[in-house]
Amino acid sequence: MEVIGDSDLFKHIPDEFYKKFRDEIFFVIPSTQIKNADNIDISRCIGVTTKRSPTEIINSVHKTGIPHIVQTDSISSHDEILVALRMLSNSDDFYKNGAVPDFLKDEYKKYQINDFKRIPFSCKHEFARIEKQVSEEISGLPRNEITKNGIKVILNELFSNAIYSAPMEDDYGRVAPNRTGNAEICYNNERKGFVQLGYNDDFLFIECVDPYGSLNPMTIISQIRKSFHIGLENTIKHNYTGGAGIGLRLVYNLSTSCIVCVDKGKLTSICCIIPYRISTRELKNISKNIHVLYSEGIMSSFKYSEEFVDDAHMIHFSGDIDEDSVFDDIKLSQKKKVILDFQNITGINSCGIREWIKLMKTVPSDSHVTCIHCQKEIIDQANMIDGFFPDNTFISSFYIPYFCESCNEQTNILATRDDEPNKVPVPDQETACHNCGEMAEIDIIEKTYFKFIKK
């Protein structure tokens, strides 16, 4: 176990964790100091911090990508760190059973439970039955605002997320005529979701699991973050983030800890830990923690990095620009010259185009935008969509694809332009294939592909 950053925070981690996990390597990092750590696997990190607001915790996950943020001043920092360590070392258990069964383990102190209830479901109409069963299970707990209404809000939101936010395509095995009104929604192919409920003398654990594994946790983090930024009232009024973001913001507010597990194509679970012997005012002020576990392939491949070179703001993009791409922190008004580098972009879809155009609208009219290393996917969108780039844009370099009939591989050749904005390049009709060396032919309709030059 390696520590990077402030060792004073690490002293809050009990000694037994060193012994139990000594053969594992975990980086326990103050979540605000992640930039000081080089060449580490962020997915194996636990961010340790203290006295941070709910907004700061969400911002920390969003900005750094650290999947576990634990506050040393939380109600049970010991158990919160144990949750993170067990998720990192026993991920298969969480992917198979969700989070609640893990609290049966005797390693937990304040979070240990003796039993839990699992309630299966497969259709929207079953919510009334589930709500009744949950109410009966917790009928012996103190009757206060949290147990009377808070639990109902959490259950409703988690169930709605499992039903409404599951994939719509037939391949995923769900029948959904529409999302509104009284239309029934059911899983088919004998798929089942389930609600898991457990409690002890101080904490209640409620979790909803769906059998799809389609949620991108960072999308939800981004939506909750935006709701903090613009305010919950404006979020609801204008539906800026979608229903799931609004609902999970409410869930986050009512919990001391949220645990999200996603096993791609198999399981999504969201578990909340709620201290039920306190007032809602106290709950609002207690330190919050968050844990995210996800299997390979669930997270968006999109990334970007920024640098400021002389008087220019340069941004390097990589991966797919899609519905999970977040541009909120990119401020294009800092310099008059903006350079966009698409060297490592691998694709873009319709949802990504929508978010991209929103970003381009923030470019000041007196700025000058230069695009370099534009992949064919970018050129195609620039040709088809007005507003994909602002008027004050010059595409300085772009790739021309060539197809080799000998090996069926594509070779991309970088073309550069001089400062004559209307001059159309005259590319070679053939080039040596980068794969086999045979001649590859140009694979574009030049009149169409170079349309962007005259736009």
Would you list the domain boundaries of the chain? 2-294, 303-454
Is 9 within 8 Å of 50 (Cβ atoms)? yes
Cα–Cα nearest to 199, from 272, 132, 252, 249: 272
CA–CA distance, 137 with 299 (Å, rounded to integer): 36
Inter-axis angle of helices 243-253 and 151-164, nearest 10 = 150
pTM across the whole model: 0.69
Find tokens 């299970």 and name the residue: 137
User: Which parts of 288-403 are beta strand (E)?
Assistant: 289-294, 303-309, 312-321, 337-348, 368-372, 393-395, 397-403
Q: Which CATH architecture best describes the domain 2-294?
A: 2-Layer Sandwich (3.30)
Give me the amino acid identity at 449: Y
Closest among 197, 225, 121 to 166, alpha carbons compared:
121
A 10 A CB-CB count for 365 gives 7
Phi-psi region of 190 (alpha: psi -120 to 50; beta: other; left: phi over 0): left
Note whether 353 and 384 are within 8 A (CB).
no
State how beta strands 303-309 and 312-321 pair.
antiparallel
Q: How far apart are CA 289 and CA 269, in angstroms?
A: 16
pLDDT of 257 reads: 96
424's CB contacts (< 8 A; 6+ apart) are 450, 453
Only one residue has tokens 């541009």, namely 327
pLDDT of residue 225: 79
Which residue, among 117, 87, 88, has the nearest Cα to 102 in the 3D structure?
A: 87
List b or e across 382-409, with b for residues whose CB sees 16 or more CB atoms inside 10 angstroms: beeeeebbbeebebbbbbbbbebeeeee
Among residues 346, 395, 377, which one has the least CA distance to residue 444?
377
- The Cα–Cα gap between 403 and 422 comes to 27
Q: Using CA atoms, how far apart are residues 45 and 183, in angstroms rounded to an integer?
A: 43
Name the burial class of residue 44, with classes exposed (0-12), middle (13-18) and buried (19+) by CB atoms within 10 angstroms of its CB: middle
pLDDT value at residue 94: 95
Residue 83 belongs to what H/E stretch? helix 77-89
Q: In Å, what is the CA distance from 230 to each residue of 13, 224, 239, 332? A: 36, 10, 11, 20
pLDDT of residue 2: 46
Contact partners, residue 264, CB within 8 Å, separation at least 6: 213, 214, 294, 295, 296, 297, 298
Low-confidence ranges of the chain (pLDDT < 50): 1-6, 9, 22-26, 30-38, 168-180, 238-244
Smallest CA-to-CA distance from 411 within 382, 443, 373, 377 is with: 443
pLDDT at 174: 44
